[in-house]
Amino acid sequence: MTTQTDGLMQDWALTADKILTSAAAQFPDTRIVVRREGGDIGRSNYAELEQNARRIAHALHNFGISGSDRVATLMWNNYHHLLTWYGVMGMGAVLHTLNPRLHSGQLAWIINDAKDRILVIEKGFTGLIGEIADKIPSVELILIATDDVDVAPIGNIPTKTLMEFAGGVSPDTVWGGFDENRAGSLCYTSGTTGNPKGVLYSHRSNFLHALVANQTNAFGLSAMDVVMPIVPMFHANAWGLPFIAPMAGAALVMPGSRLDGGSVLELIEQEGVTFTAGVPTVLQDVLRIITERGSAPETLRRIVIGGSAVSTDMVRAFDAFDIRVIHGWGMTEMSPLGAISMVLPDEAALGNEEKLARRCRQGRTVFGVEAKIVDEAGKVLPNDNKAAGALLVRGPAVVKRYFNHQKDAVDADGFFDTGDIAKIDEHGFIQLVDRSKDVIKSGGEWISSIALEDALCSHPSIRRAAALARSDEKWGERPIVILEVEDDDPLGTSDVIEHLRPLIPKWWLPDAVGFAQLPLGATGKIDKMKLRAMLDGSEGPELIPTVPVKKETA
């Protein structure tokens, strides 16, 4: 047997069912606490979750769902979402998380691209789906997670309650037993260039991402932790936490739809949350409250903040309460964790400002993510915190090709271009300096400048439109738009807003509108760099504020 080339260890596929089954065996009584739709608290544990997820798996199997079929969810972070998450993946189908913050037209586009066969929604989204029920022919059934006994069809699509669908079914069913390269979940990135793009995660990529993201250099969760994912499950897998928490035997606290600082804080204190993760907006609100009252939750030790930049003020303010803010960076295409502000042995020796500056960079890549910055010729640039280049990444949890695309999204060396421009310092801390595609990030969610411009240009009087980010204390960034209108065609800000309202989500509505002749580049496209310079200088148009729009949720 001198030609024995392969190792002789066991075949053991890295599949999602094993994560939950392991938690049910090792941590059966560990808490899962959920803020339900009505605001009251529900309680379960990993043993129950596994049994009920198997029931969902069984019912899906009975319905005729099989490998590669997509089952979509439209839910906040709650128990039913976890159930569906594991029920769908556990039986080998694809769990597709939909973002309820999208405009119904975008939702329909995504559902059609994914050809979802079943939608699982919470009751509050019945109206949203009602708007598009006649435009999503692939959907054969809508399951509603509700305590109600009867539910009405939505449009012509039949509905059932989740309980009706799976409640009476045995948990003894198909569960795991497939290849780890099998597709496990699907998440669309609301891309900056045209249509959203689907990232089709494999069981392997999800599993390895969880193992890597939970190294002690990164999340480092253990059975001693109580974890609250504020970041939604439809937002890049809630950064892997629905996999990581059961893997580590950590208790899970799911905040449902109530993401205001007060509700989140109440749950943190009631349940002894030790670790939470979300975008800055919500956590800024939590910080405001604890600062006002002068006391922080006793158990809370770490907050991972991602989705947009973190301010040194925020880090410093949480430090004062002995709560460590850990800034992370990632993207849907990376499952999502790419980098995290890892603690290094030299940190104690750094000056305070230097330390804070480092901690507010996007962090060092986690083990299992290779990253480099390159110039326009593809030459690797040095890690000197000066050179800025396109940030390219490679790893087992990084996308190779988008769903339904015909070409790979990686270069000849297998690297994926993040679309970000970054610097890297001598210790490996990445700092994003620009986005290649001028996306606007509001409250941690992306607003596509191009989609916004397209909507504007559909108005007969608008010739050209440019959507730009303006920094905003509360939301990070908010969109403003500069319009070039047809000659002598009068157009007011309210006309613009009324035109946009049915076309885009409310929170995409621009905060200000300006009118100007837009500078064009060589290829006839709007030169945004020049436009920004005009706005910064004296040549820019007057920016007329629109009526402020309250964003429904963070």
Residues 188-227 that bind its own copies (CB under 8 A): 199-205, 208, 211-212, 214-217, 220-224
The stretch among 140-148, 408-416, 434-442, 482-490 that binds its own copies (CB under 8 A) is 408-416
- CB-based contact 403:420 (threshold 8 Å): no
Task: Return the ∠ at Cα 173 (arms to 171 and 175), rounded to 5°.
Answer: 105
Q: Can residue 328 be called a binding residue for its own copies (CB under 8 A)?
A: no
Smallest distance, its own copies to C-beta of residue 16, A: 12
Query: What's at 333, amino acid-wise?
Result: E
Q: Can residue 423 be called a binding residue for its own copies (CB under 8 A)?
A: no
Size of the site for its own copies (CB under 8 A): 71
Contact pattern from residue 17 through residue 36 relative to its own copies, giving x for each residue in contact according to CB under 8 A and a dash for the rest: -----x--xx----------
Smallest distance, its own copies to C-beta of residue 529, A: 33
Name which of residues 228 to 267 contact its own copies (CB under 8 A): 247-249
If we measure between CA atoms, which residue out of 56, 113, 105 comes closest to residue 82?
56
Q: Can 131 be counted among the known catalytic residues?
A: no
Task: Return the ∠ at Cα 181 (arms to 91 and 227), rounded to 5°.
Answer: 65
Among the options 365, 441, 493, 507, which is catalytic?
441
Q: Can residue 345 be called a binding residue for its own copies (CB under 8 A)?
A: yes
Q: Can 5 be counted among the known catalytic residues?
A: no
Phi, psi of 34 (to 5 degrees): -135, 135
Q: Can residue 344 be called a binding residue for its own copies (CB under 8 A)?
A: yes
The CB-side HSE value for 226 (13 A sphere, CA atoms) comes to 21
**Which of 135, 301, 394, 464: binder of its own copies (CB under 8 A)?**
394
Q: Rg of the chain over CA atoms, in angstroms?
A: 24
Q: Can 446 be counted among the known catalytic residues?
A: yes
Smallest distance, its own copies to C-beta of residue 471, A: 32
Which two tokens mark 333?
A: 């295409």
Name which of residues 124 to 183 contact its own copies (CB under 8 A): 179, 181-183
Distance of CA 25 to the CA centre of its chain: 30
If we measure between CA atoms, which residue out of 407, 411, 333, 334 comes closest to residue 378?
411
Smallest distance, its own copies to C-beta of residue 333, A: 9
Name which of residues 41 to 70 contact its own copies (CB under 8 A): 67-68
Q: Which is nearer to its own copies, 6 or 376 (CB)?
A: 6
Q: Can residue 341 be called a binding residue for its own copies (CB under 8 A)?
A: no
Angle, in degrees to the nearest 10, between helices 449-457 and 493-500 = 110
Among the options 189, 192, 332, 546, which is catalytic?
189
Tokens 């990070």 belong to residue: 476
Q: Which is nearer to its own copies, 183 or 253 (CB)?
A: 183
Smallest distance, its own copies to C-beta of residue 90, A: 16
Q: Which is nearer to its own copies, 344 or 520 (CB)?
A: 344
Q: Which is nearer to its own copies, 335 or 546 (CB)?
A: 335
* Strand ranges across the sheet with 302-305: 41-45, 31-35, 251-254, 226-229, 275-278, 302-305, 324-330, 337-340, 364-365
Among the options 37, 122, 271, 333, which is catalytic?
333
Smallest distance, its own copies to C-beta of residue 203, A: 7
Q: Can residue 422 be called a binding residue for its own copies (CB under 8 A)?
A: no
The stretch among 3-11, 129-137, 258-266, 446-454 that binds its own copies (CB under 8 A) is 3-11
Contact pattern from residue 429 through residue 468 relative to its own copies, giving x for each residue in contact according to CB under 8 A and a dash for the rest: ----------------------------------------
Query: What's at 301, amino acid-wise?
Result: R
**Which of 133, 317, 410, 512: binder of its own copies (CB under 8 A)?**
410
**Which of 79, 109, 239, 416: binder of its own copies (CB under 8 A)?**
416
Q: Can residue 399 be called a binding residue for its own copies (CB under 8 A)?
A: yes
Q: How far apart are CA 127 and CA 123, in angstroms?
A: 9
Taking CA atoms, 343 is separated from 129, 224, 425, 426, in Å, by: 45, 20, 15, 15
Q: Which is nearer to its own copies, 21 or 257 (CB)?
A: 21
Which two tokens mark 520?
A: 């064009």
Smallest distance, its own copies to C-beta of residue 291, A: 29
Smallest distance, its own copies to C-beta of residue 383, A: 9
Q: Which is nearer to its own copies, 26 or 295 (CB)?
A: 26
Smallest distance, its own copies to C-beta of residue 81, A: 21
Q: List all residues 6 or more positions away from 170 whose beta carbon is below 8 Å from its beta carbon.
A: 55, 58
Q: How many residues does the chain have?
A: 554
Q: Which is nearer to its own copies, 22 or 436 (CB)?
A: 22
**Which of 3, 156, 471, 538: binder of its own copies (CB under 8 A)?**
3
Provide DSSP, 449-515.
HHHHHHHHHTSTTEEEEEEEEEEETTTEEEEEEEEEE-TT----HHHHHHHHTTTS-GGGS-SEEEE
Smallest distance, its own copies to C-beta of residue 232, A: 21
E strand spans, 25-181: 31-35, 41-45, 70-74, 94-97, 118-122, 141-145, 159-161
Contact pattern from residue 350 through residue 389 relative to its own copies, giving x for each residue in contact according to CB under 8 A and a dash for the rest: --------------xx-xx-x-------------------
Bin 307: left if φ > 0, else alpha if -120 < ψ < 50, else beta: left
**Which of 389, 395, 476, 505: binder of its own copies (CB under 8 A)?**
395
CB neighbours of residue 474 within 10 Å = 13
Q: How far apart are CA 373 and CA 423, in angstroms?
A: 7
One-letter-per-residue 3-state SS of 258-270: CCCHHHHHHHHHH
Active site residues: 189, 333, 441, 446
